[in-house]
Amino acid sequence: MTPQLNYHRNADSHTTRKTFKYSRNLLKNCYICNLLQISRPMTTDSVKYPVGEQSFQKLREEGFLYVDKTRFIDHIVRGPKYYFLGRPRRFGKSLFLSTLKCFFEGRRELFEGLYINSTSWNWEPYPVLYLDLNIQKYKDEGELDDLIEHRLIAWEKEYGIEPKVMNQSIRFSEVIRVAAEKSGKGVVILVDEYDKPLVNNLHNRKRLDLYRSKLAEIYSNFKSSADYIRLVFMTGVSRFGKLSVFSDLNNISDISLTDDFAAVCGITQQELIENFGVGISELALKRKSEPMDIVNELKHRYDGYHFAPESPDIYNPFSLLNAFKNKAYGNYWIESGTPSLLVEQLKRTQTDIQRLTKVEISANMLAGLDLDSILPAALFYQTGYLTIKAYDDADRIFTLGIPNDEVREGLMEYILPHYANLQGEDPHVFIVNFRKELQAGAVDAFMRRLQAMFASFGYDRKMDNENSVQNALFILFYLLGLSVSTEFRTSDGRIDILIRTDKYIYIIELKYDKSAEEALHQIMHKDYALPWAADARKVIAIGINYSSSLRRIDSWKAETI
């Protein structure tokens, strides 16, 4: 099931902008109800969820649940020789490469009942060279050399090669040639996480340059050994510029942002319904809920990724599998790897986080990263913390945003302690209590929490004006999952911050080194509450003053209108 696409035509430029929108009741339709066919939750222990399992052979031989992605293999074998696929971590790249490996090895018995088994493929084995760069941390300069040496020794032994030189690039070239000549078929080269040595050293220039040079030597064989190659398929986080594999191969097919391969990793809405009925039933039984409510909750927590202009709605597979295996919701993906790289990048570039909640970026910048000048928005997208929300086809501009509740909550819990002083409080507890106080209209309680939070400000930046305070508050409220707007226009001015909950509407005016009374007076004098005069919710006006000398909120005044 693909998301609803809305088209907005600009009368002046005649351009078309495609946006992805989701309803909280999207799943109340006959198609999905018929697919689920669940009238009463039932439980079973028969489903084995492959959490952390990346071996296609193991999944098939040991009866793990497998979502059939082999239709994409049919596209690949009929396409060009060189491919690159960029996806965030734990989205199924390694499993897809493992599937390709078994396929080209001719292991047809593993594909029984899958799409590719119904095609005309002859199932003759090809020589496969599999290079997994995901197994090292790359915090030592010799780790990459050691890994490549280990693989070369294994390949040389397999094909009976006695190395005549020490140069690893030349030895790799010889392995490719001999493997092709002995088998009589082109070699299939699969590289998993080709860029991990680079990604792990973005802030260590010495190691970054060393690894970039080493990888360029190894990958240069993809061009020089082209006559012996049937297929090269690489996965990673990003297509890094100025690396030989992309600068030398002008015919490489980057499928990272293509519509045809948007669902090659991750779980679509239809795949969720067709493959996880038992898991949905078990969650419904445990939570004493209806299956449709479970699917809607899964959607809000783990859905919302888009990897192409016409991308289907993609769920995070790692989080889904964990939720079904544990029969419980959790922030599984974001907790499996802290975004320390992103925080370091934000510090280094002094990026305003508010801009990352809705940012525009060109197709070229989104697809690749310049190692010498990394764009934070592109890095956030490629690592999975932002996703495509809209696409302007005429100008080739993407709009990015946070994909779902898991990422938003996880970012909040991780970034907040770096952003402000929580005085030793658990970030999760802080966030939950803050949200409860806002939703309950407990103004003094959440204002005291705000005051404590701003007692110290991180990122080596000062709150040097009203706008910086406004940005910090926006980030907090937005990542809390609240409906928040800044600079909201009224007939007589702009509201600094507007927050809407189920029961309350908060109108917040900020002042910098002035007074809370002055801020509250502005709200009342300019009738900022007038647009909600007929609203059933209570409207609360809050005037806040931030003291630069104290580096915190020193006073506030609130009044129910």
Per-residue pLDDT, 277: 95
Residues 6+ apart with CB under 8 A from 176: 129, 187, 189, 221, 225, 228, 229
**493: helix, strand or coil:** strand
Question: Do residue 273 and residue 312 come from a single domain?
Answer: yes
Query: What range does the domain containing 198 cover?
Result: 70-261
Which strands, in side-by-side order, build the sheet including 397-401?
A: 4-9, 16-21, 387-392, 397-401, 359-362
CATH number of domain containing 209 = 3.40.50
- Using CA atoms, how far residue 11 sits from 16, 20, 391, in Å, is 10, 21, 17
Q: How far apart are the first and last CA of the chain?
A: 45
Residue 100 counted as domain residue: yes
Here the tokens at position 176 are 């490719």
Per-residue pLDDT, 353: 65
Question: Do residue 287 and residue 394 come from a single domain?
Answer: no
Domain boundary among 297, 328, 359: 328
Residue 63 counted as domain residue: no
The total of structural domains in the chain comes to 4
Dmax of the chain from CA atoms?
Answer: 87
Q: Which residues of the chain have pLDDT under 70?
A: 1-17, 21-45, 242, 346-356, 416-423, 455-468
Question: Do residue 362 and residue 385 come from a single domain?
Answer: yes
Residue 58 counted as domain residue: no
Question: Do residue 150 and residue 235 come from a single domain?
Answer: yes
Helix orientation angle between 466-479 and 443-453, rounded to the nearest 10 degrees: 120
Question: Do residue 113 and residue 146 come from a single domain?
Answer: yes
Residue 11 counted as domain residue: no
Question: Do residue 366 and residue 311 come from a single domain?
Answer: no
Residue 151 counted as domain residue: yes
Per-residue pLDDT, 23: 44
Per-residue pLDDT, 550: 80
Question: Do residue 311 and residue 380 come from a single domain?
Answer: no
Phi and psi at residue 211, in whole multiples of 5°? -70, -35
Domain boundary among 404, 437, 459: 404
Half-sphere exposure of 530 (CA within 13 A, CB side): 12
The string of pLDDT tens digits covering residues 382-439 is: 999 999 999 999 999 999 999 999 998 888 777 766 656 666 778 778 888 888 999 9
Assess contact for 113 and 67: CB atoms under 8 A.
no
The CA distance from 358 to 503, in Å, is 27
Per-residue pLDDT, 11: 36
For the beta carbon of residue 111, count every other beta carbon within 10 angstroms. 22
Q: Closest by alpha carbon to 300, among 91, 116, 26, 70?
A: 26
Domain boundary among 222, 243, 261: 261
Assess contact for 65 and 50: CB atoms under 8 A.
yes
The CA distance from 301 to 294, in Å, is 11
Question: Do residue 124 and residue 168 come from a single domain?
Answer: yes
Residue 412 counted as domain residue: no
Question: Do residue 234 and residue 103 come from a single domain?
Answer: yes
Residue 12 counted as domain residue: no
Question: Do residue 350 and residue 318 come from a single domain?
Answer: no
Q: Which pTM value belongs to this model?
A: 0.83
Question: Do residue 185 and residue 43 come from a single domain?
Answer: no
Assess contact for 178 and 161: CB atoms under 8 A.
yes
Question: Do residue 475 and residue 514 come from a single domain?
Answer: yes
